[in-house]
Structure 1
């Protein structure tokens, strides 16, 4: 029984499709587990307030494109980050809202409040 090229493809395609499907599902499950782990870790961490300085700010803009009917729709989402340096010299980059991001300037000094990797606030100290 020689099925030729198409006979081989009838056998291999379902295996490849199944493997790719399992890989995608596995990556999604891994992402959910990591997210839940970080959330749990942050919740079990103490809320700390330390003297710190804003050393840099950055944004990460993601463009989402979709096609509805015959028109293309674009939506952007922005994630805001600030890097703080504490008295020991250690630095940490924390994600925050756009409102909080807009209130910070590089070089600001004050009291940083955080919980694990979760930004809780920054109280600027006027010199």
Structure 2
């Protein structure tokens, strides 16, 4: 029950957050596997971005987005709260903020 309430609260908070576009560098990727045993296992995909202020944020992404991003990619990150909206790789992909 706690997980459901937490999920709804985060969803609502994201909906009320502004949509932002910032320059960012992909600095890390990881996966997490949930379930298994007698329950179906599934994977979650996370990417860590570093923005111009040197702050880092980890966002959950879809598997297709995860597979397209590589550490060192530089571009424009679009997000809303903790919700990943997209990443457009820069033509000047030097990996420097």
**Of 34, 56, 73, which aligns to 1:91?**
56
Matched residues, number = 92
Structure 1 window deviating more from structure 2 (31-40 vs 91-100): it is 31-40
Structure 2 unaligned segments of length 5 or more: list them: 93-97
List aligned pairs for 1:1-127, cutoff 5 A: 28=1, 30-66=2-38, 75-127=40-92
> How many angstroms does 1:63 deviate by?
4.3
> How many angstroms does 1:34 deviate by?
1.6
3-state secondary structure, aligned to 2:54: coil
Q: Bigger radius of gyration, 1 or 2?
A: 1
Structure 1 unaligned segments of length 5 or more: list them: 1-27, 67-73
> How many angstroms does 1:32 deviate by?
2.2
Asked which structure has the greater RCO (Cα within 8 Å, sep 6+), the reply is 2
The runs of 4+ residues in structure 1 deviating greater than 4 Å are none
